[in-house]
Structure 1
């Protein structure tokens, strides 16, 4: 399994192939999610496994645990999107309700507080830099991916918030490719949010047109 630790030097920096390939697939996931294809989830699962190997090598347990969680969420997301397509042929995206946003926000804040305490007190995790940042990324990534599995437009917003912390954390952990990818993520996520938000408005606009005709 030595290939898991294979690396090369780029501009004087040590880069793992697992980190590079895993992040390349992560970028592909964003593009596939924008297109609402079921391939989003198998690609995300593969990327998560590669990034898990890179995180273990870099001694970044918070990120490693996040990738383990991603594997489970990728399976759930595939099942959820597949069910959605079976009933309507095309995945219907929508904005979260006020209650759903409240729940997502509460899980993000409360989960971050709980996981941060685990990172602080469970010494075997060896979170040397900012347990709170690691916890925030761990919980935020889970919340975003779950919201994505439910086809909620709001998942793009959560990813933006995660990116703002992910860049400095990746740099501190020595995952330079991950840091660069987080930066690219920001612009792709903004484009995805724009597209999904526009699509989520179409059913509302169609309903208004039908009401106007009926009147």
Structure 2
């Protein structure tokens, strides 16, 4: 049996049929969120590996939007990794901040336009669920894709809003995963929900005392203070 065949095999997880690719990919996804909470550079390579496994799982159940999402996440994670490394070199740590109102407006506009546009592409090519799938299902699949891209971008930019975007993705991801019989993904999305709430509180607290930087510049810590509690271990 090849590695790909094994990853597409199912096993019983407390009576629930789970694909190995779905299981292992989501274990790494959970690790990614925990590492992001700690602002560790290791979060990015772990995310890349987890996305490769989830790409295999999505293709196995014909989720075109979710599969495309994993491809973009892999590419975006490489950029995010480089961004965080540069931030640590320049600032000595990974500082976080709230986005400006202008930045938030842009994110919301991209969220709305991007979701409908990508849903139209999926619908036209019957690339989501099954031919003739209802619009609400295709829109949900498209939002998982677009929302994940925005989450990756806001994470790389170190915006506190990163966690709110993931929260919106999770609210759609749980029923979508269960409907697609990716049951373990549904369970993990539920765990993500709790971790995201913790992340919002942690990053919001860390953002206090930091000035709003321009979109093209790293965040600035006022009064010469830096966060000496970083647990970054990546290279």
For the criterion TM > 0.5, the same-fold answer is yes
- Deviation per CA, 1:163-187: give whole Å up to 9, x if none: 1111000001110000000000001
1:1-215 to structure 2, matched below 5 A, reads 1-123=4-126, 125-128=127-130, 129=133, 130-203=137-210, 207=222
CA shift, 1:207, in A, is 4.8
CA shift, 1:61, in A, is 1.4
- Deviation per CA, 1:103-154: give whole Å up to 9, x if none: 111111110010011111112x143351010011110111011100111110
- Deviation per CA, 1:1-59: give whole Å up to 9, x if none: 32221321234432111111110111111110011110010000000000011111122
Asked if the contact 2:170–2:189 (Cα under 8 Å) also holds between the matched residues in 1, the reply is yes
3-state SS, counterpart of residue 94 of structure 1 = coil
User: Any unmatched runs of 5+ in structure 1?
Assistant: 211-215
| TM-score (norm: length of structure 2) | 0.84
Q: Distance in 2 between matches of 1:37 and 1:10?
A: 30
Question: Which residue in 1 is equivalent to 2:217?
Answer: none
Q: Distance in 2 between matches of 1:152 and 1:68?
A: 23
CA shift, 1:91, in A, is 1.0
Asked if the contact 1:120–1:127 (Cα under 8 Å) also holds between the matched residues in 2, the reply is no
3-state SS, counterpart of residue 100 of structure 1 = helix
User: Any unmatched runs of 5+ in structure 2?
Assistant: 212-220, 226-235
3-state SS, counterpart of residue 92 of structure 1 = coil
More helix by share: 1
Counting matched residue pairs gives 208
Q: Distance in 1 between matches of 2:82 and 2:13?
A: 39
RMSD, aligned α-carbons: 1.8
3-state SS, counterpart of residue 129 of structure 2 = coil
